[in-house]
Structure 1
């Protein structure tokens, strides 16, 4: 049975703790065995923790021989990516992005990279490492490249989930564009676009710094990162930069859709105002004539004329018809 399929037998905090050695089967180990295994300086020890309790993190930190400040850093929640060097190992903090009910859900993944070990800590992250672990277990040559290579694969997996989340957000942006440009928008639509822009801004804030971190990992002078593994981090950095540009493009598309919708609404209001003004001008003619003849003076033009009433109605109709024709020609009606 592969190590990834044995995770359910572990406590909820420890999802997998496997020792991989060239030419030998992977073996699940206990935390107490970690110092002995690390002293052998062979193979790869990969431990995956999920929402661990502080006591469990303290025990893991002591087993891996971490200093007090490193353990404290592992216990601290983060909201932005981070890279810290501790001499014999590196700590990389990454903010993950998943989706729940078509809204981004942000989590945290910490990667502690050593010479012969990799410790991953996930908090509130929707990204599972079991599939990647299973794929690498089926390709021992990849695991033999060391923890720095596995860490680059994990970062690449996180970027894949960035893009999956953005694909859903892109469809939401396209839906908003169609709604605004074809049908206008209502008050609920304004709330919807504000929420989407805020989600994109938060996503951009947590994704963009990862490009610089991966860039540093591709240039860093450290025994933990092999020279041959630096190219992998450079590739991940390029992917993060393209992802960041994609997020920026979606934000611009939302802004343009909102501006376009506002312009369409203004045009509709202007068109409505013109129609109202045209009809007001047309109706002002009969209103004025009726008002004059309703003043009940004894001496009024055409009062004694038999055709006076039809004549006034004809005048009203002629003037109103002329105004209607003029406004129609001006495309006000």
Structure 2
């Protein structure tokens, strides 16, 4: 079922025309959607957050076994825009600070009173025609999820990672939504980690392109060699940004899978173990890429050293060849009266011949030894 849900998310994601700038809802400049769910079924119509919360709490009070909740999605809200929701749901002050404002928080899962806050770093692949020393490869953002007994609040920062397709996919699996707000938390975590895997696969193509260029015949020579070093270094910097988003998430996911809490349904916890496995796979990929880039960089530097040595050998060989006529001409250029064969008719041609034969023999010797 989870695998089918992932496929549905990907299909819905591809159908989305513009995920970077979601349409604004009349509920407010930052509210993307506000929907109530009763036993996994979406309730018809849109209504303000307070009205939606009142309805689901009424449903839960009338049907004690019901898992009705309201899901509110926001995009980059300000403190003022989030304040009314924080008061409505009774959120802790630290929760508000983590949810809005700057987005440099580390991935984490923190319980506050009767709520649970989870911060995920989203990663997107920046499309580019050709990788250069200044190309952006990885874009990062943030998704914050706050769950309570009867509500879910998702706050997205950044141009990618829209949760609209995820919501659509979840609504096609009402039996999963019927498990309550923790099912949404799992779906968001699964969505974020799946994007890690997809971006890692895309980055692998860039690494393979750089690897092919480094081990080509022209690698290590001139401006082309210097540009390859810049591309490798840029990839390593982008991978470092990727690792900062991915690595800290391992422990929070393990906590969601193993540590008991009333806000995470018992039958949802095994799904977090599955997400943790996918995260471990992505982490292994990124660590492998980093090690591979180190090896490629070392090989490239060695190639540049070999190319420079070859150039120096060629320069030395030509300098030795040029030294023969320079020496002979230097001797005959001295103003002495008694220089051998100075007044002989064939002295000039003889000297030129000696110079030519000596240069030929030197050139032949250098070619035979691989210096030219």
Q: Give the TM-score of the pair, scaled to structure 1.
A: 0.89
- 1:45 pairs with 54, 70, 80, which one? 70
**Shift of residue 265 of structure 1?**
1.8
Distance in 2 of aligned mates of 1:308 and 1:118: 102
Match status 1:74 vs 2:99: yes
The aligned length equals: 330
RMSD: 2.5
Deviations 1:288-310 (A, max 9, x none): 11111121321121224333333
- Answer whether contact 2:119 2:142 (CA < 8 A) is retained: yes
The within-5 A match list for 1:142-157 is 142-157=176-191
Between 1:242-251 and 1:95-104, the stretch displaced more is 95-104
Q: Give the TM-score of the pair, scaled to structure 2.
A: 0.81
For 2:268, what is the secondary structure of its paired residue?
helix
- 2:48 pairs with 26, 30, 46, which one? 30
Between 1:40-49 and 1:153-162, the stretch displaced more is 40-49
Distance in 1 of aligned mates of 2:40 and 2:157: 33
Match status 1:167 vs 2:206: no
Distance in 2 of aligned mates of 1:280 and 1:23: 84
Residue 18 of structure 1: aligned partner: 35
Distance in 1 of aligned mates of 2:350 and 2:40: 111
Change (3 A) 1:6 1:299: closer
Between 1:321-330 and 1:94-103, the stretch displaced more is 94-103
Change (3 A) 1:181 1:156: same
- Answer whether contact 2:225 2:304 (CA < 8 A) is retained: no
Between 1:277-286 and 1:302-311, the stretch displaced more is 302-311
Change (3 A) 1:70 1:287: closer
Change (3 A) 1:286 1:140: same
Change (3 A) 1:25 1:150: closer
**Shift of residue 48 of structure 1?**
0.9
- Answer whether contact 2:254 2:272 (CA < 8 A) is retained: yes
Between 1:202-211 and 1:250-259, the stretch displaced more is 250-259
For 2:162, what is the secondary structure of its paired residue?
coil
The within-5 A match list for 1:301-320 is 301-320=340-359
Unaligned runs of 5+ in 1: none
Distance in 2 of aligned mates of 1:284 and 1:68: 82
After the TM superposition, list the runs of 4 or more consecutive aligned residues in structure 1 that deviate by more than 6 angstroms: 4-7
Change (3 A) 1:125 1:240: farther
Structure of greater relative contact order (alpha carbons < 8 Å, 6+ residues apart) = 2
Match status 1:108 vs 2:142: yes
For 1:312, what is the secondary structure of its paired residue?
helix
Distance in 1 of aligned mates of 2:56 and 2:112: 17
Deviations 1:261-307 (A, max 9, x none): 22222211111111111111112112111111121321121224333
Change (3 A) 1:24 1:163: closer
Distance in 1 of aligned mates of 2:210 and 2:174: 47
